[in-house]
Amino acid sequence: MSQDQNQNGAAQPASGDGTGTAVTGAGTSQDQRTASGENAQTLTTRQGHPVSNNQNLRTVGNRGPATLENYQFIEKISHFDRERIPERVVHARGAGAHGVFEAYGTVGGEPIEKYTRAKLFNTKGKQTPVFVRFSTVGHGGHSPETLRDPRGFAVKFYTEDGNWDLVGNNLKVFFIRDAIKFPDLIHSQKPDPVFNRQTGQRIFDFIANTPEAMHMVSFLFSPWGIPANYRQMQGSGVNTYKWVNAQGEAVLVKYHWEPQQGIKNLTAPEAEAIQAKNFNHATQDLFDNIKKGNFPKWELCVQIMSDDEHPELDFDPLDDTKIWPEDQFPFLPVGMMTLNKNPENYFAEVEQAAFGTGVLVDGLDFSDDKMLQGRTFSYSDTQRYRVGPNYLQLPINAPKKHVATNQRDGQMTYHVDAAPSQNPHVNYEPSSLNGLKESPSQGPDHQPMYTGRLIRQTIDRTNNFGQAGDRYRKHEDWERDDLINNMVGALADAEKVIQDKMIELCTNCDADWGRRLAEGLKAATNADGGNQYNDQQAGQAVQQAEEMAHDAKPY
């Protein structure tokens, strides 16, 4: 193949000389001029700016926080938020229920006010209404609920101080630690843009070049990647947050939902057998159990850590690809959630439910977790696009308390957020003409100190393989067997360079993991270089559909 042609035979424009020819794709022409130092494969923004660092947000020091002037990230993530109309780009398939959260008033036997002034936690027996949406992440709105995928676990608390959204997953870690990589991650899990099929090569091509994802791989490709249902799975906030007390002092926290129904997962063959009979099984399981009065419960636990860098740890506590060791940072119960009411209308309540990681109440705060800071922009931005700028006026999303704002108009406005005695002519603040007034402070603000250069860098303590190897060794034998089988099946049709990279990464986690993956891939490969999995399963399914079908007469 000549150097001026790509693998599809298309001519490539000249590079780095400011020249280039227009190419045609999807009926449009595009200028292909390149600047000095660029070539046709140089990544740019939509403004044509070359992207020299697509791995890291610009942050104050390599631990954060992020800054609003991250134009590259904002362009990338805001476009990603708008890629699907009107279905969610991620978490499209979901089920939901109403319930109540009852606070214990303590955390680990101590008064909770020591750590947070959030009112929903401060009194034993205090009840807060909640709405929970469970979901699969990467697949479409009517996809089977047996597919291998993280599960979303989003809880909306309708507190006396307004809404709090705790938006997480069933697994306690994630694939990436920097939000600028999120569109790339999801694209790798979505169907190929040419032939519209999901492939193992796509996701493992991304993972093979993203070593931090190995901890997530150790869970996702084991039975933990297919929970039996929504009732019997854990939940996690995944990211690191802060609690702030009445003195403005803060601690780092992680949130965990522990199901009182136990935890159950499925192997791939078990999931396939269920899917053959019912691909809505998890939605039905949740609805039917609540209808029968078998109300599922989860205990909310937190882990608490002092708000500093913790150099004694071999990982950064803000890294969402890591778990805080429970022996060092124990789970401390703070309350119990019970789901006791099914939705009356799926679309109005479950589909239009809108969550955002930036929706916090007084006493709860953000950490500098770079994934959390990116999600905080992206989630609410997505809802304004997907549901509309007035999505918070919908009953499922509206706070169950006083609301008075100066926000006006926009699509689908159906009431004005004005106070009963407010001057209707005044939709701004400050004003001397009976407009809205600022509220008194509920306590001193938490004021972290930042010193550092504004940079694009990966965090110092990556430790991509330690916890992934620990998880592999902690799996039971049948879970390790399932992990290897699932990885072999997904990697069998991948290019050898990807297979080799994944064998290397698995070996870095645990030598046995790498050895077993290599042996499995060797056994799955035919003498001609093809593979037994996709050649026989996917390809044969296409052929069988025609051969096994019954002839029909035209009408």
Which of the residues are catalytic? Answer: 91, 169
Two tokens, residue 134: 């469970």
Residue 17's closest CA among 3, 37, 31?
37
How far from the centroid of its chain's Cα atoms is residue 83's Cα? 16
**Cβ-count burial 63-81 (b if 16+ within 10 Å, e if not):** bbbbeeebebbeebbeebb
CB count within 10 Å of CB 123 equals 12
Give the angle subtended at the CA of 504 by the CAs of 500 and 506, to the nearest 5°: 115
- What single letter denotes the amino acid at residue 331? F
Q: Catalogue the E-assigned strands of 297-402.
A: 297-306, 332-341, 364-366
Q: Are 329 and 304 a contacting pair, CB within 8 Å?
A: yes
Euclidean distance between CA atoms 168 and 241, whole angstroms? 12
Could you give the maximum distance between any two Cα atoms of the chain, in Å?
Answer: 84
Euclidean distance between CA atoms 289 and 57, whole angstroms? 44
Q: Are 241 and 366 a contacting pair, CB within 8 Å?
A: yes
Euclidean distance between CA atoms 307 and 287, whole angstroms? 41
